[in-house]
């Protein structure tokens, strides 16, 4: 079934209540100010020019009463996500949609603000944008995930998670930050084989930003079960970029592996 929202006042959440496995939802050319969770396997969401899903939340923000909050509990990192694909909803496909967490950092505020989180295998995203600051794109769990022809923007650890995932023909931009920027923070599960693989991508540090390729993440409680893996091939680093994967914390294990193959730093081949 195709559920087309063009010219309607239907929210995406309402469309999801009508949808079943293998259905397609087509968004209108507008911004949907919603916080979305998808639990339907093999669902497809397609956007038109201008289709955007947006919300404003950080890990430290208190959950409002309208969303079941008690005035004390905060969203947490996962809960801050504008859009979340839940475990079990394998095979999710999305094309031509912007995912935005429009939290804006102020000096001294280090809130994590996820725009998109996936907890599945067989994710396929094409011609999408993921925009936030810290922790923009959270690819957690799963294998055979693909992010194709997409734009990803943030400042701190803004592509992170434990999944195996291919990033193909993507533009990845580190924006102005009060700290150094870090493009990635993989915490690859030990039973996954590839971690994050970037092929034919462009890593860009915006003016005034010093960006490192990433920080290996060993979450507390999982330090012995993760082996962060990162591969970049046939790609370009543009601006003030250090294409290395470093430890996130002093005393972390040193099992992480970073491979660069046929990559350019400001036009020069990295040897």
Q: Quick one: pLDDT at residue 255?
A: 85
Rounded to 10 degrees, the C-alpha dihedral 92/10/54/73 comes to -90
Q: What is the pLDDT of residue 126?
A: 99
Residue that the structure tokens 């011609």 belong to: 127
Domains, the chain: 1-146 (2.160.20.10), 155-271 (2.160.20.10)
The series of mean pLDDT values per 10 residues for the chain, 271 residues long, is 97 98 98 97 98 87 66 72 97 99 72 95 99 96 96 96 98 85 95 96 96 91 81 98 92 87 97 85
pTM score, two decimals?
0.95
Q: What is the DSSP letter of 65?
A: G
pLDDT at 110: 66
pLDDT of residue 69: 62
Q: What is the pLDDT of residue 71?
A: 62
Matching residue, tokens 């999408």: 128
Nearest partner of 186 among 149, 151, 150, 145, judged by Cα: 145
Q: Any idea which residues carry the catalytic annotation?
A: 135, 157
- For 253, other C-beta atoms within 10 Å of its C-beta total 13
């Amino acid at each position: 079934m195709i559920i087309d929202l063009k010219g309607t006042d239907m929210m995406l959440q309402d469309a999801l209540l009508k949808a079943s496995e293998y259905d397609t939802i087509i968004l209108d050319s507008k911004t949907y100010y919603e916080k979305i969770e998808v639990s339907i396997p093999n669902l497809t969401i397609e956007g038109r020019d201008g289709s955007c899903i947006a919300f404003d939340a950080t890990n430290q923000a208190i959950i409002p009463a309208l969303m079941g909050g008690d005035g004390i509990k905060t969203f947490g990192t996962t809960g801050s996500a504008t859009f979340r694909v839940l475990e079990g909803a394998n095979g999710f496909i999305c094309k031509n949609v912007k995912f935005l967490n429009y939290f804006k950092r102020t000096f001294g505020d280090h809130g994590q603000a996820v725009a998109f989180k996936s907890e599945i295998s067989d994710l396929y995203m094409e011609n999408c944008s993921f925009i936030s600051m810290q922790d923009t794109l959270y690819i957690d769990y799963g294998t055979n995930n693909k992010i194709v022809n997409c734009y990803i923007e943030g400042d701190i650890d803004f592509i992170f998670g434990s999944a195996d995932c291919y990033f193909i023909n993507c533009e990845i931009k580190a924006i102005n930050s009060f700290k150094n920027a870090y493009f990635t923070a993989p915490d690859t599960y030990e039973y996954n084989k590839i971690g994050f693989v970037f092929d034919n991508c462009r890593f860009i540090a915006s003016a005034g930003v010093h960006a490192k390729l990433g920080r290996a993440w060993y979450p507390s409680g999982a330090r012995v079960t993760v082996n962060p893996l990162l591969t970049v091939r046939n790609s370009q680093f543009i601006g003030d970029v250090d294409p290395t994967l470093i430890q996130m914390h002093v005393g972390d294990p040193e099992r992480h592996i970073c491979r660069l193959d046929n990559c350019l730093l400001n036009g020069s081949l990295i040897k």
